[in-house]
């Protein structure tokens, strides 16, 4: 039991026979998971594995993000703000992880990327249905995006459903209306298949909430959580843009867009416009 040889002795109870027991690898389907990194470059480029894993891990986190956002939305629908806040707290941590992980990809130099970029053909993150689903559930709807998924009916169907459903913010505003806040009808009866746009007549509702934070603590807290969530989303977009600029400069994208300019325009989009507009009104 001594550590003189700098090895750790096995505790007596440690299980080693997995011939008829569930193991770590079988529970997590690791054989399948670890067989899914399949570089396409020929000869295989050393850095393509980084590129694939960066994307696959992002997609896994996006899967969880969407799961949590759907649950947050359902909780608001059921007037359960406590659970919704719990879900959003987790969403914010996932976003932070997604944003931080850009630093790994930033070690890919423009020369290295150019050596296998041609093998990517027209594939692009623009075709990520999970990313688009997150944008849709947050209210950045765009029916035109569906056409990208015409050859993937399952993904297209999920996006078409999300397009027709109220967003997280739509549900939050309906919840506020049920609590008795004067959310205007123009907001409650909006066409939820369209991108959410600013309703100036909603700003006074938030002003009331912010000016009476102690009496409306939960909804005030929820407002601030949504502001954090939008900030975090923009931080991810910004890191993506900066990574693109340092990797491909002003080249157009493999997905057919102008590249950096196209991504830069996403930085002027907003999910919760009135929650930012109210800041101008506070204290005046």
Ligand X SMILES: N[C@@H](CC(=O)c1ccccc1NC=O)C(=O)O
Nearer to ligand HEM by Cβ, of 105 and 278: the residue is 105
Nearer to ligand X by Cβ, of 248 and 277: the residue is 248
- Distance, CA of 284 to CA of 282 (rounded, Å): 6
> Minimum CB separation from ligand HEM for residue 265, in Å?
8
Which two tokens mark 176? 């506020």
- Our finding on whether 125 is near ligand X (CB under 6 A) is yes
Alpha carbons within 13 A on the beta-carbon side of 165: 19
CB contact at 8 A, 254 and 123 = yes
254 belongs to an annotated ligand binding site: yes
CB contact at 8 A, 208 and 223 = no
- Distance, CA of 182 to CA of 208 (rounded, Å): 10
93 belongs to an annotated ligand binding site: no
Region from 42-50, 119-127, 202-210, 220-228 binding ligand X, contact rule CB under 6 A: 119-127
CA-nearest of 93, 90, 113, 89 to 101 is 93
209 belongs to an annotated ligand binding site: no
Q: Pick one of 41, 83, 128, 234: the residue that binds ligand HEM (CB under 6 A).
A: 128
Q: How many residues bind ligand X (CB under 6 A)?
A: 10
Q: Pick one of 119, 131, 220, 235: the residue that binds ligand HEM (CB under 6 A).
A: 131
Provide the mask over 187-226, with x wherever binding to ligand HEM is found by CB under 6 A and - wherever it is not: ----------------------------------------
Provide the mask over 36-55, with x wherever binding to ligand X is found by CB under 6 A and - wherever it is not: -------------------x
Cβ neighbours for 201, distance < 8 A, ≥ 6 positions apart: 184, 186, 187
Which two tokens mark 166? 């109220």
- Distance, CA of 46 to CA of 30 (rounded, Å): 22
CB contact at 8 A, 133 and 165 = no
Binding annotation: 51-55, 113, 117, 240, 254
Interface residue list for ligand X (CB under 6 A): 55, 117, 120, 123-125, 248, 253-255
Interface residue list for ligand HEM (CB under 6 A): 54-55, 58, 105, 113, 124-126, 128, 131, 240, 243-244, 247-248, 253-257, 259, 262-263, 266
């Amino acid at each position: 039991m001594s550590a003189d040889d700098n090895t750790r002795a096995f505790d007596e109870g440690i299980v080693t026979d997995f011939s008829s027991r569930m193991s770590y690898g079988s529970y997590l389907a690791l054989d399948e998971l670890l067989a899914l990194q399949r570089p396409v470059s020929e000869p295989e480029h050393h850095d393509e594995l980084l590129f694939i894993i960066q994307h696959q891990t992002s997609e896994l986190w996006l899967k969880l993000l969407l799961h949590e956002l759907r649950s947050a939305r359902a909780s608001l629908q059921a007037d359960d703000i406590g659970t919704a806040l719990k879900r959003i707290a987790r969403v914010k941590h996932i976003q932070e992880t997604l944003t931080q992980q850009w630093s790994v990809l930033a070690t890919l130099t423009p020369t290295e990327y150019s050596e296998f970029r041609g093998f990517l053909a027209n594939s692009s993150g623009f075709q990520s249905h999970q990313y688009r689903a997150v944008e849709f559930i947050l209210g950045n709807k765009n029916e035109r995006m569906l056409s990208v998924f015409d050859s993937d009916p399952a993904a297209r169907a999920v996006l078409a459903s999300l397009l027709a459903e109220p967003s997280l913010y739509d549900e939050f505003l309906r919840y506020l209306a049920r609590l008795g806040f004067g959310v205007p009808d123009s907001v409650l009866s909006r066409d939820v298949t369209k991108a959410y746009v600013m309703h100036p007549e909603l700003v006074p509702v938030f002003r009331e909430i912010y000016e009476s934070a102690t009496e409306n603590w939960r909804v005030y807290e929820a407002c601030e959580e949504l502001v954090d969530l939008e900030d975090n989303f923009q931080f991810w977009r910004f890191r993506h843009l900066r990574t693109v600029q340092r990797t491909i400069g002003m080249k157009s994208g493999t997905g057919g867009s102008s590249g950096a300019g196209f991504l830069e325009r996403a930085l002027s989009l907003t999910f919760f416009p009135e929650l930012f507009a109210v800041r101008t009104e506070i204290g005046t």
